[in-house]
Chains A and B, each alone.
Chain A
Amino acid sequence: MIADAATSLDAASTHGYLLVLAIVVPVGGVLIATAVGGRTAERTAFAVIAAGLILGFAILLDVWMTSRPLAYVLGNWAAPLGITLRADGISAVMLVTTALIIAATALYACADFTIPRDGLEARAPFVFWVLLLAVWAALNTVFLSGDLFNLYVALELLTFAAVPLVALSGRAEAITAALRYLLFALAGSIFYLLGVALLYGAYGTLDIILLHQRIRPELAVSLAVAMMTAGLLAKTALFPLHFWLPPAHAGAPPAASAILSALVVKGSFFLIIRIWFDVLPGSRSLAAAQVLGVMGAAAILFGSIVAFRQARLKLLIAYSTVAQIGYLFLLFPLVVGFEGSPWSATAWTGGWIQLVSHAFAKAAMFMAAGLIAQALGHDRIDDLGGVARALPLTVLAFAISGISLMGVPPSGGFVAKWLMLSASVEEGQWWWAVTVVAGGLIAGAYVIRVMTRMLGPRLELPTLSVKVDRWRQSLPLSLAICAMLLGLLPLQSLELLQVGLPHFLGSAGR
């Protein structure tokens, strides 16, 4: 989006209205669902999901065909006073990923949160549908905003939609987890806001393109970026700021956990990427990137080992999220300092495939774990014996997403880790390669530990407390297959991930 900034700064694209619709449609859905309530909430959600899927793919197609970012200037007020919406390659990819996962989650949640035809409106189902749309609206705003303060508001909306999802069950542990999550998130976003204040004080604008042109390497910028990054790290739950995540994600209902682990933590990560690579010109700090990489590596090792030691399936999956978030942060040391080299582009692509494939695989895993917990009435890993015979499709979904998390071919996780691995070897930073391999091995250990229990010998079938429909089992399976299919994408199509970025990546890094 910076490349042709001079010409397109104030010009809205022809299809720019799509960006407005991508935000207005879910927000409208939230308002209608809240006002009308009852069974309409669920129906509204599905209408919005249908529209949102079409919008997401339309934006992706437009960015792909034109190889130029989409832009829309709100109310024709040009920056610096006005607010611009922009969709570059990474926003388009995130929009579609979000739409697909939200759609699958909504279908999955039908059984848990449906409002009976003649029954009274209950709190949890009604709130779930409203919050689902609210999370979506907030995520789309994060992906499309081209203005730092607009991003702050989007970030807070995301928090306010995600925290009640954690507390949905109303149990004391869930409320405690939600409260902890809220306090972490609030501290994080207030530091982000402080960074915004410093940047505005120094340069008098909040528009990302204008800031990119005006910013100079000076103390105020380093301070602002450090505070914004630290705040966002707390919201992304990067080790050692991850303490809120496992109880929050494991305590939420399965449909909510899928959204939280697959998408919500990625929202604040997306913002860190925006600040580091879109706002800052060439003056990124090597030392800071290495620190982020070290924290990522620690997250991979710590998260994987603690996941292996968990006794409960949902907590295992939540700790695995802590580990998989770590991989995303290896992108910083692999790109910063190697701008212009082809391997930075390799690492960049690897990082984004990791993000998308983890989103699909983790949503599938939480859904599968939810079905297993519902059917058995518990999720103790040691007592999962024989579940593979009772719920074969669910266990298959768990296995396929496990393959992607481990990084075994063919899967999105494999391509991501392989690209990161080759970038780190070619750049002479072999220690990241060692971490990636070690993380993959421990991930293999915890997935196989669960799989051996699930496939383990037990002559009598476990008694199922609830019968699980086959179509419901097919939802996590289809998400897991998406994660796998990512590994079969031709790499040329991934040029999309670089559309509209400032020119810091080398070309043809494969």
Chain B
Amino acid sequence: MTSATLFGLCGAILIGLGLFELITDPHPLRKILGFNLLGGGVFLVLGVVARRGAAAGYLGDPVPQALVITGIVVAFSATALAVALVVRLSEVSGRVSLAYASSEQTDSDGAEG
């Protein structure tokens, strides 16, 4: 097993764990962590792609490395926005949950599941 394959498998495992957390955990903060885990897995896969493309004196293909940097910036901003929304939600309603519990919504959202 080459190191590229090993890291590729690690990336796949991270993606699986992250997706599981994102889907199954009801708490928004842990969903955000799950998203970051998922993102980390994808960045690792991109790193493997870069390593496999090594040629002409470079240790890795620079294009996927550039993609990873952009991806990290995007994931960072996404996390910041999501956390800001969670903080605001707890300030406004005093709870942190994705369920629609307010009386205004329950009468009309019955069919929404």
Contacts and interface: CB of A to CB of B under 8 A. Distances in A.
Interface string A167-209: 1001111011011101100110010011011101100101000
A172 B108 CA distance: 16
A183 B88 CA distance: 16
Nearest to A380: B108
Contacts of B53: 201, 204
A160 interface: yes
Given A153-B70, A311-B108, A182 B42 contact: no
B52 A182 contact: no
A251 B110 CA distance: 16
Interface residues of B, number: 47
B2 interface: no
B89 A190 contact: no
B109 A247 contact: yes
Contacts, number: 115
Given A160-B77, A163-B81, A247-B112, A193 B42 contact: yes
Nearest to B61: A204
Q: Of residues A186, A196, A309, which shows the largest number of chain B Cβ atoms within 10 Å of its Cβ?
A: A186
A183 B31 contact: yes
Contact of A173 (B32, B45, B100): B100
A222 interface: no
B71 A186 contact: no
Contacts of A196: 67
Interface string B63-106: 11001001100110110011001101100110001111010110
Nearest to A172: B93
Contacts of A152: 71, 74
A200 B49 CA distance: 8
Given A156-B78, A201-B49, A204-B53, A179 B89 contact: yes
Given A179-B28, A311-B108, A193 B78 contact: no
A183 B64 contact: no
A160 to B, nearest CB: 6
Contacts of A163: 81, 85
Nearest to A164: B81
A176 B28 CA distance: 10
Contacts of A173: 100, 102, 104-105
Interface string B1-28: 0000000000000010001001000001
A246 interface: yes
A336 B36 CA distance: 36
B10 to A, nearest CB: 14
A180 B78 contact: no
Contacts of B48: 201
A243 B113 contact: yes
Interface in A332-367: none
Given A173-B100, A194-B42, A179 B82 contact: yes
B35 A179 contact: no
Interface of B: 15, 19, 22, 28, 31-32, 35, 38-39, 42, 45-46, 48-49, 52-53, 61, 63-64, 67, 70-71, 74-75, 77-78, 81-82, 85-86, 88-89, 92-93, 97-100, 102, 104-105, 107-109, 111-113
26 contacts: A167-B88, A170-B88, A170-B92, A172-B92, A172-B102, A173-B100, A173-B102, A175-B93, A176-B100, A178-B85, A179-B85, A179-B98, A180-B98, A183-B98, A190-B39, A190-B75, A196-B67, A197-B42, A201-B49, A201-B52, A204-B53, A204-B61, A243-B113, A246-B112, A309-B111, A311-B108
